Structure 1
Amino acid sequence: MSLAGEQESNLKTLAKHTGARLVLRGQELSIFGTTAQTNLAREMIHLLQNFWQEGRAISDVDILAVRHALNTDRTEEWRSLQDDVLVKTRRGEAIRARTFRQRQYIQAIRSHAITFGLGPAGTGKTFLAALIAVQALLDNEYERLILTRPAVEAGEKLGFLPGDLQQKIDPYLRPLYDALYELIDPERIAALMERGVIEVAPLAYMRGRTLNNAFVILDEAQNTTPAQMKMMLTRIGMKSRLVVTGDVTQTDLPSHQVSGLTIARKILEPVEGIAFCHLSKGDIVRHPLVEKIIEAYERYEGDS
């Protein structure tokens, strides 16, 4: 069932990428086609063996990554990718990098004081960074975890939302909580937030502060102004790490306003010690339709 996928969607994807015809009858999978087609299908299924033997879900991303590994003679690297468990969730599920670019992104975060993760929605930019940050906090590598993003969407409407300030800004910071709940019980998160060990706040709250011994994630950075980006980058103090995530194609800033993320990439990409990781549609790990939606919009915007 894991290999076949829902309504045999994985078999259809394998057929699409190999040219072979795959027929599943009970526990027996038959592969039809030319020698090259059947050999390729067999090799891809073999590389996916750990997934389907363990009953783990297989996505289009996993199949594409396997095909890429075979095309580029990186099968051993693919196998090591499967052995490298990033963290285990509260439910005991192992989380790994799903693509080579995701693995490079993780390695960059671990080895650089400042890392930029750039790419479309669903590539795991924020989720992976937050998982690394939470694990580092639990391992006492840092005293604080700070999650922040510009509340551009709020604007003047923020005052009309119900509740106190924290309740007003929570909707704009909600995506940053997802990784926290994967590793920490909700009750413990509340206690850590009360003590200031975990802080989730809009970007404006970072002004004038020096963030020492902290793991900081700036999410949705494409919605920062150049001044806000410079302010955030210069907040980093001793023994701190900063991950900046964003998608320069999805800015919510006014049309006349240049994104601080775009400017930062132009200025800082040559700077030693700062890592820029570019994720792409091939790294999308959400529902398969997400990649198709992004491609459809790119075609529309290219034609208009």
Structure 2
Amino acid sequence: MSRKPVPAQVGDRSRIEVVFDRPQLLGTLFGQYDQNLVSIENRLGVYILARGNKIQIEGEATSAARARDVLNGLYNRVAQGQDIDSGVVEAVIAMSAEPTLDGIIRHEVSTPPSIMIRTRKKTIVPRSAMQTTYMEALARDDIIFALGPAGTGKTYIAVAQAVAQLITGSVQRLILSRPAVEAGEKLGFLPGDMKEKVDPYLRPLYDALNDCLPAEQVERRIASGEIEIAPIAFMRGRTLADAFIILDEAQNTTPMQMKMFLTRFGQNSRMVVCGDPNQTDLPGGMSASGLNDAVQRLEGVEGFGTIRFSAADVVRHPIVGRIVQAYEGPDA
């Protein structure tokens, strides 16, 4: 890409010009009805004018520079054949605010990412600086605690990495588990056999799988036992070797359940424990969260990695991040 930033002071504002050398990509970059440009303008408080293959950005100097980096990052993604949707735009805007602008942002926004996860249906690249750290940990550590609020990609990225390793043969099985704990409401008796009773609790794991593999492959691999989705109670007494093991909603385990789960770890395995320590749904009278207990005991132990996401790492709709921040505030 040809880049010609030409700052020109206009009062207390700055004007930057960016020139793109592949005009045929600009329709995708701008989005339908220029919605991507509008999002950048609204989020960064700048004005963007497009003329041919040139874009002029006017606004406060720092905001205009961020807008330039965001546009360059999105352009490079389009040039690599990656999809651009509102979530990607919001994620790149958020990443442009990181204090390590010359490190992770220049590396991730303005150039092709050096770390990614390829699955049958899509290629997953980091949408925040912490997601980059998380992906690096998934490739390095034996057991990882991924902590943080909803919408930060903890489980989704873990499932994508597990699917990628299953496809390449690095592991022979993918085991997804979570405690069957109701989120504050009583659901009563559920109809059907055991699978039908527990499937509602495990639906988020199915959703992540179906986003990474064609539906027929998910069904075939579940039927063959390559992929197993089960409540944590089904893990007792087993040794899970040659497997990628994910425990979701781990904040809803007891310390004894967590100890039982962690000690299932076998040869040539990888384990990811995901949860939000601030959102425990354990029934009243039960002991403290097994997730918090395990992190306190094992953080810093060789072979364990701990990744802590915050509201700033939420990659869903921006309002989700604001909701998380409101509930984590001083009056929460």
TM-score where L is the length of structure 2? 0.80
Once the two structures are overlaid, the 10-residue window that deviates more, 55-64 or 202-211, is: 55-64
Residue number in structure 1 paired with 2:248: 219
Residue number in structure 2 paired with 1:14: 44
| Amino acid in the other structure paired with 2:117 | L
| Amino acid in the other structure paired with 1:277 | I
Report which of the two has the higher share of helix: 1
Does 1:298 pair with 2:323? no
Mark the CA change 1:69 to 1:210 in structure 2 (over 3 Å): closer, same or farther: same
Question: Is residue 251–residue 275 contact of structure 2 (8 Å, CA) maintained in 1?
Answer: yes
Question: CA separation in 1, counterparts of 2:68 and 2:188?
Answer: 59
Mark the CA change 1:229 to 1:205 in structure 2 (over 3 Å): closer, same or farther: same
**SS in structure 2 at match of 1:117:** strand
Deviations 1:150-206 (A, max 9, x none): 001189967711111101100100101122212322222222212211110000000
Does 1:42 pair with 2:68? yes
Question: Is residue 145–residue 197 contact of structure 1 (8 Å, CA) maintained in 2?
Answer: yes
Aligned residues: 295
TM-score where L is the length of structure 1? 0.87
Does 1:56 pair with 2:81? no
Q: CA RMSD in A?
A: 2.6
Question: Is residue 81–residue 97 contact of structure 1 (8 Å, CA) maintained in 2?
Answer: no
- For 2:310, which of 280, 286, 289 is the aligned residue? 280
Question: CA separation in 2, counterparts of 1:23 and 1:29?
Answer: 7
Residue number in structure 2 paired with 1:141: 170
Question: CA separation in 1, counterparts of 2:77 and 2:44?
Answer: 15
Structure 1: gaps spanning 5 or more residues: 16-20
Does 1:162 pair with 2:191? yes
**SS in structure 2 at match of 1:120:** coil
Structure number with higher relative contact order (C-alpha < 8 Å, ≥ 6 residues apart): 1
Question: CA separation in 1, counterparts of 2:68 and 2:184?
Answer: 54
Mark the CA change 1:113 to 1:24 in structure 2 (over 3 Å): closer, same or farther: same
Question: Is residue 116–residue 277 contact of structure 1 (8 Å, CA) maintained in 2?
Answer: yes
Does 1:271 pair with 2:297? no
Question: Is residue 73–residue 92 contact of structure 2 (8 Å, CA) maintained in 1?
Answer: no
Which residues of 2 match residues 251-270 of structure 1 at below 5 A?
251-256=280-285, 257-270=287-300
Per the TM alignment, residue 88 of structure 1 is displaced from its structure 2 partner at its CA by: 4.3
Deviations 1:240-282 (A, max 9, x none): 1110000000100134431000011111002111000111112
| Amino acid in the other structure paired with 2:217 | R
Once the two structures are overlaid, the 10-residue window that deviates more, 233-242 or 187-196, is: 187-196
Deviations 1:18-41 (A, max 9, x none): xxx314467664433455554454
**SS in structure 1 at match of 2:97:** helix
Mark the CA change 1:115 to 1:30 in structure 2 (over 3 Å): closer, same or farther: same
Which residues of 2 match residues 113-262 of structure 1 at below 5 A?
113-153=142-182, 160-256=189-285, 257-262=287-292
Mark the CA change 1:40 to 1:211 in structure 2 (over 3 Å): closer, same or farther: closer
Question: Is residue 122–residue 290 contact of structure 1 (8 Å, CA) maintained in 2?
Answer: yes
Mark the CA change 1:59 to 1:41 in structure 2 (over 3 Å): closer, same or farther: closer
